[in-house]
Amino acid sequence: MDFLTALLCAAVVAVLAKTVAWLLQRRIGNAGIVDAIWSWTLGGLATVFAVFGSAPGPLRLTVALMGGLWGLRLGTHLWVRNWRKSEDFRYAKFREQWGEKVDRKMFWFFQFQNLFTLTLAASAYGATVFRPDIPPAWAFVLAIALLLLSVGGEALSDAQMERFRAQRRDPNEVCRLGLWRYSRHPNYFFECLHWLAYLPLALSPAYPWGWLVLAAPGLMAFLLIRFSGMPLLEQEMTRRKPGYAEYVRTTSALIPWPPKAG
């Protein structure tokens, strides 16, 4: 099999998945459900690339399991968080701005997201499962350790935020529970770390394309830090919560770090 065939099949899967997400959001009126479907789809694309890859079987199986575990955990969390809940403010703003054209524009917005989905999948999974040789044992150990640390850290961050939301008495209170005391976005930090987990498996003296795997963590960091993650979320939190500006001043944006003195 070749890379272009794998990419084409991945594109078909991604387009179909986003179409299902669009149809579902039309029915329930909550476009935020696409986030869960995006995670499941992107995790599932690890298996698509693994099936079409030419690398030794143990490497392809490892990549499929790594991507699958990440996607299953994150997608399930987002589905539970968003199902039958209020629509995320970002999608709600789109719905308000687009008015009568919301269905058509939402469809193409969902499909536009596939450009990022396919770039992440092709660089992380594709740049790994087509190497001609088997990585050394230490590379497998390091990759799996990074994967477990990132998935576990993101799950812990999400659990701490959900516990905070369930226990808070004041809706304007800012979460400083657990990892959120050391980072304003610990879940985003571990999300970026996840995409670095494929690097030890991709690099090989016999495979010059392995460095392309770095495009995945670079793209995810850009999306979260500069594009649709932190900027929109922090602007909204600063507007809604009086204490959030102080939280921004004293707390690391991404990498967990001891907070500054008040």
Q: Mind listing the pLDDT tens digit for each residue in 95-112?
A: 999 988 999 999 999 999
Percent of the chain with pLDDT strictly greater than 70: 99
What's the CA gap between 22 and 63, in Å, rounded? 29
pTM: 0.93
Note the pLDDT of residue 1: 64
Give residue 226's pLDDT band: very low, low, confident or very high (50, 70, 90).
confident
What's the CA gap between 20 and 40, in Å, rounded? 12
The first and second tokens of residue 169, run together, are 């008495």
What's the CA gap between 131 and 221, in Å, rounded? 25
Residues in the chain: 262
Q: Which residue has the higher pLDDT, 84 or 60?
A: 60
Residue 100, C-beta contacts closer than 8 angstroms, at least 6 positions apart: none
Q: Is 248 left (phi over 0), alpha (psi -120 to 50) or beta?
A: alpha
- How buried is residue 167: exposed, middle or buried, by Cβ count under 10 Å (0-12/13-18/19+)? exposed
| Model confidence at 262: pLDDT above 80 | no
The first and second tokens of residue 202, run together, are 């991709």
The first and second tokens of residue 28, run together, are 């329930």
Q: Mind listing the pLDDT tens digit for each residue in 8-41?
A: 999 999 999 999 999 999 999 899 999 999 999 9
Determine the Cα angle at 27 with ends 220 and 90, to 5°.
35
Q: Mind listing the pLDDT tens digit for each residue in 234-261?
A: 998 998 888 899 999 999 999 999 998 7
Give the helix, strand, coil percentages of the chain, each rounded to 5: 75, 0, 20
162-186 mean pLDDT: 92
40-49 mean pLDDT: 98
Note the pLDDT of residue 172: 85
Note the pLDDT of residue 168: 86
185-212 mean pLDDT: 94
What's the CA gap between 29 and 193, in Å, rounded? 33
186-213 mean pLDDT: 94
Q: What does pLDDT average to over the chain?
A: 94
| Cα 236 versus chain centre, distance | 20
Q: Mind listing the pLDDT tens digit for each residue in 117-153?
A: 999 999 999 999 999 999 999 999 999 999 999 999 9
Give residue 85's pLDDT band: very low, low, confident or very high (50, 70, 90).
confident
Q: Which residue has the higher pLDDT, 85 or 42?
A: 42
What's the CA gap between 190 and 197, in Å, rounded? 11
